[in-house]
Amino acid sequence: MIKRLKAQLFKSPYIFVSLLVVPLSGFFLYARYSASEFFIFLTGSLAVIITYLIYEYVSLGHRQAAISLERGECEERFNLLQVEIIRERQANNSLQLKITNYSLLKDLTEKLCASFSLADTAQIIAADANAVYRQEEMTVIVYFLKGTLGEVSLAASLRAQNLLNLKAKRGDLYDQWVIKNLKPLLIEDTKNDFRFDPEQIRNEDGRSVRSLMSVPLSVVEKMIGVLRVDSSQEQRFSTEDLRFLNTVGSIGAVALENAQLYERVEDLAIRDSLTGLYLRRHLMERLTVEISRHLRSDEELSFLMIDLDHFKKYNDKFGHTAGDIVLKTIAMILTNMFNQPGQIVCRYGGEEFCVLLPDCSKRKAGQLAEDVRKRIEAQTIILRREKTHISVSIGVAAFPRDTHTKEELVQKADAALYEAKASGRNQVAMASPSESFRTKEEK
């Protein structure tokens, strides 16, 4: 209670002065007119009061200093708490971002595990990388490495989750830098980066690239491709963005390598190891699809069966290695002559080959067969420094003119082939049409 009264007293200086002045004035008048010896008491009282005031003043200064110090400490603690709150918010935001990114990586891994196609895998990588950067001006590009010369080809390109058709299919200096150095690349502003000359950057698409980040798609220093994100605005990417993109690239590179291996194994399962031509199993699968398609159209499907004449003599005279050379040469000629979309060249077995010709009439197939027969006959093959030539016999059949099923189509072409051989070899024979499909002229 006393402390509260003293605090109120010192807070009101007028009351305090009044309480001192009024008694002192009374004592002074009393000593002046009644008892002069009272001045000694008055002097002592003043000395006591002054001493007390000095004490209170000093105490007040100490209390003010303590309050000021405590206030400073409170402000310091407040500032520290604010800094801690900001750090906690940043940590929380960073944690949420990491959770989001890890969720994206989890989804990416699951999608890639279910993809065995090289093109689909590249599209998945581009789509998931693009999901992180949804700005309209950002472009995600995936390049494949071709051969050993460092050339790249476009595999996938997206902008804001939409497919983007880029005219520049082989990358630029930035992509070549990543391939050459096998390191990630981050450029905050392409106009201020001393490593690259803007005048040498040829942008065939007319896109303005001001900032970009790019990472190599590699597995144990084996370069597979490049994953790149660029923007038309500067200062769009940070080192944290590059670090996450590098993680996506590392996962994607393994998936791309697996897809390449899968396609290679799948290709080996349907292709002949010697000639590189398709095998009979793949031919029959394609034949089923093509016959189903031609049943719904008015076009004919033609089929050539080709057999090398006297091939056993080449093996006996020059050896099996020379025979392999002949088979490779014939395969090369057939591949070069039948290279239109849909046309399939297969090694049927041994020295037999066959050609599937969709949307091709029997008459035209006969002309093509005669052309390829002449081309093979004119081909010079050098075996053990000896120039030699080889000839082929060819049987031609067509669907639905000659047959009703794929098995019968192959049988008809094979029968025509043996007819060509029986007639003296090195010629083309046409299969006889089925009765229900014979024209009036043929009947």
Cis peptide upstream of residue 198 (ω within 30 degrees of 0): no
Give residues with Cβ within 8 angstroms of 57, minimum separation 6: none
The half-sphere exposure of 381 on its side-chain side, counting CA atoms within 13 A, is 21
CB neighbour class for 327 (10 Å; exposed up to 12, middle 13-18, buried from 19): buried
- Strand 392-399 relative to strand 428-430, pairing: parallel
> Which of the residues 351, 370, 407, 441 is marked catalytic?
351
- Which string of b and e fits 404-425 if b means at least 16 CB within 10 Å? eebeebbbbbbbbbebbbeeee
Contacts of 176 (CB under 8 A, 6+ apart): 150
Question: At a CB cut-off of 8 Å and minimum separation 6, what does 279 contact?
Answer: 270, 271, 272, 346, 347
In one-letter notation, the amino acid at residue 298 is: D
- The sign one gets for the Cα dihedral 185, 191, 195, 196 is positive
SS3 (DSSP) at 83: helix
Active site includes 351?
Answer: yes
Tell me the H-state helices in 38-136: 38-113, 118-132
Q: Residues with catalytic annotation?
A: 351
